[in-house]
Chains A and B, each alone.
Chain A
């Protein structure tokens, strides 16, 4: 009974883990850049939705139409200012430097957010915030369910974009082998720029949904970076739906740990899973690299 209720909640939050991971997996898969500031970008998206709602009463789901392009633009800017220099190095140094740059970015964005918006926890509370959908004896919070559906829709749209369009194909080709892609006449630099901006926009949308269904504060960044990393390690790179499934798996695992070990250890279970998979299978549970 309690277990089922917890599993429902785990499933709902898992969709957001999946969306957060999809952005990280996209930039890691395409650019071979591990941006550990992904959680901070998510936090910024969350504040975008929060302020649009608080200042101008814009419906939080509608606000994503503004947040996503704004975060896309921020992604362009960050790539041009920082990560452009990182991708010049060979692969191993590239990952290491991107990790360090992401780490510096984490500190700056976190400190900036505290200065600008204080350390308070915030969340968006539209009129329909408390609505609950009854499924027999179980309660399904409507907002979280909508967030899950929304997250899935975004990933499906992105999947179509990557599969069907010219630039989408360029992104996939670059992820597979950037040198071959360059030889085929794909502008690798611009593809990187696009993929990074898309990853940032995904983080922003995930953040918006987090501020709707849960809460945000300047210090949520690290937690969400770790969640996204856990999911990426669980599900491997290269598949958006793999990330989504991995996210849901993590959500369910956390739910079980809440029931059997108690709430405080919720975060620990995912991390242990993460370390075990890292050591045993560095290529991820669901295998296939891009």
Chain B
């Protein structure tokens, strides 16, 4: 019952793009202040995670098109690759604030490594509508 509150496309997005709660929190943290450039240390302190974990999380978000690093500095700023992506993040933010436990469960239900995505590539049923 609780899983029904997350729409399928958002569920797919979370499963594909969000690997951990720390990553989601970092994304939403930077989204909350889009004019600010964050250091890794500042993010780590705010999220109560180690600096190394924060570094990995921010790098990944940057590669995935959620953040950018202005002028090759070591800072990160919220900047989505496309308006559609921004809208999806907005929906995720709204859902996370309303349905904290289901979203958390969804993320924690994912396997620890990404290699499952290799096998999932062959699953036609997991294909999203945006194909």
The reply to whether chain A is a binding partner of chain B is no
| Residues on B facing A (Cβ under 8 Å) | none
